[in-house]
Amino acid sequence: MKAVIVLCILVVSAYCAPMLDEQLNNQWTLFKRIYGKQYNSIEEEATRRNIWEANLAKIQKHNLEADLDMHTYTLGMNRFGDMTHEEFIKQMNGLKMTVDPESNNFDHHTFLAPSNVAIPDAVDWRKEGYVTPVKDQGQCGSCWAFSSTGSLEGQHFAKTKQLVSISEQNLVDCSGKFGNMGCDGGWMNTSFQYIKANKGIDTEKSYPYEARDGECRFKKANVGATVTGFVNIKPENETDLQVAIATIGPISVAIDASQGSFQFYSSGVYNEPDCSTTELDHAVLAVGYDTTAKKQHYYIIKNSWGTSWGQKVQQYHINRKTKIPTRFKDCFINSTVGQREMLSTSTDFMNKIYFPLIDCMLVELNDRFSSKTLALMKSMSTVYPESENFLNSEDVDAFCRHVNVDSSSLKNEFAVIKSMFKTKKIDDVIQFLKELIPYSTAFPQTILMVKNAMTMPVSQVTCERSFSKMKIIKNYLRNSMSDARLSDLTVLAIERDIFIDYEQIVDKFARNHKNSRILLC
């Protein structure tokens, strides 16, 4: 009876183990390296790997649909890839609109758009120096603090022409009495009220961000900016919002970031049909807008999830589209060629360039010198006289499988060849092939194997030489060269050891082009 119980437990345990795709092993290793992922146990890593694979499949499916013009934006893997959507929302979306502004002594002023003001079709305050680089709130629901400081940084620049980074940690630690809850969430209005009552907020340099709740360490001597008042824009009034952005500067706004697509947003105009205009859970900074875009109008948003999320230009769609004539619908091309992300710190360089480059090199080396490849190389050495493995029939199986040669017949041929050439010295594989050709009917499998072994290295070298020569031939001054001409010149350059009778070429050219002028350049 005990044996039966143990067996049942083992069966259930095996059934519950997650099934992982082994083809994604290299990608999983790269993901962990880039984002510094470490797990406490094998079981935890298996669980996170399973979540990551599901998220990766979702990203690939979405991007395939985007290629078919079903979406206006793309998704990409980022540091949130091993988190479920529920975990992500709980950790990153910290906006808490719980404070009733009418039930306290806070400022209650509504933005009044100035009349008879013509605002530009596009605004981008980053270009004017109003916006600090993208920051990272880490594993702390403090988006409200980053949205607040971003707006204040812009206003401070407008007044002093000095861009000072303001301390989010100051708000996380010190604004609790005004209704904020640190890493558990907060609200921009209460943040501004705290700064106004506190007569200032410290700079980020003097009060750096720690991504955790702590004791208040505000020092009046380190104040970087102050607040004299603030106003609220009417909810869902995009006209007033655009006027405010154009006439005032970057604006703190709240959005619905609870959709699964927002977790992995990568590029394009984010247009999520299921987004709510009332269920808002994330605070960001609107730094501009563009109503001149041919396909869709959009806002430019600065988020606080680090540089691994989104693109350099972070856009959030407003529900307004420009109609495109049917005959032009295929003429608009969204390209990312030439776009790059600015790396401001050595950590960004290590995570974005150095580690990915090293991992890609290791992956390629592992693929090229895998156990299967090494076994194939060892097997191929059996037909090279200069190898210690020459005519060793025990190592031919891998190569036989690769080139579809009968291994049993080959082993028999090897035994006969050994006895034939026992006293004869053979210097290289070419001489070995010449010695075998007269006996082609007796050793067909060996000759086939020798020809394959001689051809494989040559084909690899030719490919590498082709790319090297192509770069020399088609240079900056020859960038309009046709494919046919490039191919002909490349063959001449690569196979330069082939004898070419130029006199014969000139004579043939003259015969075929009598009384005609040919442009030779």
Among 287, 302, 317, identify where a domain stops.
302
What residues form DSSP beta bridges with 476?
A: none
Do 408 and 498 lie in a common domain?
A: yes
**Mind listing the pLDDT tens digit for each residue in 239-259?**
889 999 999 999 999 888 888
| pTM for the predicted model, two decimal places | 0.57
Reference 303, options 237, 249, 230, 254; nearest CA is 254
**Mind listing the pLDDT tens digit for each residue in 452-484?**
887 776 555 666 666 677 767 776 666 667 777
Say whether pLDDT at 501 is over 70.
Answer: yes
Q: What is the CATH number of the domain that holds 121?
A: 3.90.70.10
Reference 108, options 176, 193, 181, 177; nearest CA is 193
Beta strand pairing call for 201-202 and 223-225: antiparallel
Asked whether residue 84 is domain-assigned, the answer is: no
Side chain identity, residue 94: G
Long-range contacts of 179-184 (CB under 8 A, 24+ apart): 179/98, 179/99, 180/96, 180/144, 180/145, 181/96, 182/140, 182/142, 182/213, 183/94, 183/140, 183/141, 183/142, 183/211, 183/212, 183/213, 184/94, 184/96, 184/141
Asked whether residue 516 is domain-assigned, the answer is: no
**Which 8-state DSSP code applies to residue 24?**
G
Six-digit token string for 232: 């609220």
Asked whether residue 314 is domain-assigned, the answer is: no
Q: Tell which wins on pLDDT, 499 or 201.
A: 201
Q: Using CA atoms in the order 267, 166, 189, 96, what is the torsion angle rounded to 10 degrees? A: 60
Cβ burial 470-506 (10 Å sphere, 16+ → b, else e): eeebbeeeeeeeeeeeeeebbeeebeeeeeeeeeeee
Asked whether the CA dihedral 62, 65, 66, 72 is positive or negative, the reply is: negative
Q: How confident is the model at residue 451 (pLDDT cuts 50, 70, 90)?
A: confident
The residue range of the domain holding 150 is 92-302
Q: Tell which wins on pLDDT, 324 or 479.
A: 479
Least confident residue range of 17-31, 45-59, 150-164, 178-192: 17-31
Helix (H) or strand (E) holding 266: strand 265-270
**Mind listing the pLDDT tens digit for each residue in 375-390?**
888 888 888 888 888 8
With 0-12 / 13-18 / 19 or more C-beta atoms within 10 angstroms meaning exposed / middle / buried, residue 251 is buried
Number of compact structural domains in the chain:
3
Six-digit token string for 517: 């002028």
**Residue bearing tokens 């793309």:** 74
Do 252 and 369 lie in a common domain?
A: no
Do 41 and 96 lie in a common domain?
A: no
Do 221 and 111 lie in a common domain?
A: yes
Do 423 and 286 lie in a common domain?
A: no
Percent of the chain beyond pLDDT 90? 24
**Which 8-state DSSP code applies to residue 136?**
B
Do 213 and 172 lie in a common domain?
A: yes
Say whether pLDDT at 222 is over 80.
Answer: yes
Q: Give the Cα separation of 167 and 89 in Å (integer).
A: 24
**Mind listing the pLDDT tens digit for each residue in 261-311?**
888 998 888 888 888 888 888 899 999 998 887 667 889 999 998 888 887
**Which 8-state DSSP code applies to residue 338?**
T
Angle 247-248-251 (CA atoms, 0-180°, nearest 5)?
120
Among 259, 276, 302, identify where a domain stops.
302
Q: Do 143 and 95 form a contact (C-beta atoms < 8 A)?
A: yes
Helix ranges (H only) for 227-329 are 238-247, 260-263
Q: Tell which wins on pLDDT, 448 or 149.
A: 149
Do 246 and 284 lie in a common domain?
A: yes
Asked whether residue 79 is domain-assigned, the answer is: no
Do 144 and 290 lie in a common domain?
A: yes
Asked whether residue 403 is domain-assigned, the answer is: yes
**Mind listing the pLDDT tens digit for each residue in 62-106?**
988 888 888 888 898 888 999 998 888 888 876 666 544 444 556
Q: How confident is the model at residue 146 (pLDDT cuts 50, 70, 90)?
A: very high
What residues form DSSP beta bridges with 282?
A: 255
Do 209 and 134 lie in a common domain?
A: yes
The catalytic residues are: 143, 282, 303
Among 259, 287, 302, identify where a domain stops.
302
Do 56 and 119 lie in a common domain?
A: no
